[in-house]
A and B are shown apart, each in its own frame.
Chain A
Amino acid sequence: AQSVTQLGSHVSVSEGALVLLRCNYSSSVPPYLFWYVQYPNQGLQLLLKYTSAATLVKGINDFEAEFKKSETSFHLTKPSAHMSDAAEYFCAVRNSGGYQKVTFGTGTKLQVIP
Chain B
Amino acid sequence: AAGVIQSPRHLIKEKRETATLKCYPIPRHDTVYWYQQGPGQDPQFLISFYEKMQSDKGSIPDRFSAQQFSDYHSELNMSSLELGDSALYFCASSLGGASGNTIYFGEGSWLTVV
Residues of A in contact with B (beta carbons under 8 Å apart): 32, 34, 36, 42-46, 49, 51-52, 90, 94-107
Tell me which residues across on chain A come within 8 A of B43, comparing CB atoms.
Answer: 44, 90, 104
Q: Residue among B42, B43, B104 with the most chain A CB within 10 A? A: B42
B102 touches A42 (CB 8 A): no
Of the residues B42, B58, B104, contact of A101 by C-beta under 8 Å: B58
Whether the Cβ atoms of A36 and B105 lie closer than 8 Å is yes
Chain B residue at minimal CB-CB distance from A46:
B102
Q: Do residues A32 and B99 form an inter-chain contact, with CB atoms below 8 A?
A: yes
Q: Quick one: which of A34, A43, A97, A98 contacts B90, CB cutoff 8 A?
A: A43
Bound: A110/B58 CA distance, A: 29
Q: Taking the complex as formed, is B38 at the interface, i.e. its CB lies under 8 A from any CB of chain A? A: no
- Complex contact B107–A43 (CB within 8 A): yes
- Total number of A-B contacts with CB less than 8 angstroms? 60
B50 at the interface (CB under 8 A from A): yes
Q: Does B86 reach chain A (CB closer than 8 Å)?
A: no
- B interface, CB within 8 angstroms of A: 31, 33, 42-43, 45, 48, 50, 55-56, 58, 90, 92, 97-100, 102-108
* Residue of chain B at shortest CB distance from A103: B45
Q: List 22 A-B contacts (CB under 8 A).
A: A36-B105, A43-B105, A43-B107, A43-B108, A44-B43, A44-B90, A46-B102, A51-B100, A52-B100, A90-B42, A94-B103, A97-B99, A98-B97, A98-B98, A98-B99, A99-B50, A99-B55, A100-B56, A101-B45, A101-B48, A101-B56, A102-B33
Q: Which of B90, B97, B105, B107 contacts A100 (CB 8 A)?
A: B97
- Give CA–CA (A101, B94) in the complex, Å: 10
